[in-house]
Homo-oligomer: A and B are copies of this chain.
Amino acid sequence: MGTTHSNRSHLTRSAIELARLVAQVATVDDGAICTFVGTARRNSEGREVNLLRYEAYPEMADQEIGAIVAEAERKFSGARIATLHRLGDCPLGEASVAVVAAAPHRVEAFAACRYVIDEIKARAPIWKQEQFRDGTAWVGDPGSFKPRIP
């Protein structure tokens, strides 16, 4: 079933609708659906974030996420996975990434969902910029703080 998503992009510039992702993989043969949604948080190391902005190397990120999905579907028997990462501006409280894993049993559903989000965070060429009141910074890139010019 590793072909489920092959022609769907894993990147979007719109709001992520979890129910639509669930509908892509759920069937009456699945007993278990695990989902993960990462959302834009108001606080980052004590500083207040107004907005997150995501940038990707889009062709490579889409391929890498597709490879991660295929790995998870091979590793976890019966799992089918749908996932989307948001690009561009992501307002507070909205989903920046969502993963859905359907499987006959919950152990595989949880493991597949966890594998996909962990690997996306470790491997997909996507970068997060935090926008503060007084400037912006790329996460994990010390020295990238850029003051906002009033």
Which A residues are closer than 8 A to B by beta carbons?
A: 18-19, 22, 26-43, 92-93, 104, 106, 109-110, 113-114, 117
Contacts of A18 in B (CB 8 A): 18-19, 22
Minimum CB–CB distance for A101 against chain B, Å: 10
> Please, how many angstroms separate the alpha-carbon atoms of A43 and B34 in the complex?
20
Contacts of A34 in B (CB 8 A): 34-36, 113
Q: Is the CB of B28 within 8 A of A110?
A: no
Q: Is the CB of B33 within 8 A of A33?
A: no
Q: Is the CB of B29 within 8 A of A43?
A: yes
Minimum CB–CB distance for A2 against chain B, Å: 21
Closest to A117 in B: B106
Q: Is the CB of A39 within 8 A of B19?
A: no
Contacts of A42 in B (CB 8 A): 28-29
Q: Is the CB of A36 within 8 A of B36?
A: no
Question: Do A32 and B26 form a contact, CB below 8 Å, given A19-B19, A110-B114?
Answer: no
Contacts of A35 in B (CB 8 A): 33-37
> Please, how many angstroms separate the alpha-carbon atoms of A36 and B19 in the complex?
13
Closest to A27 in B: B93
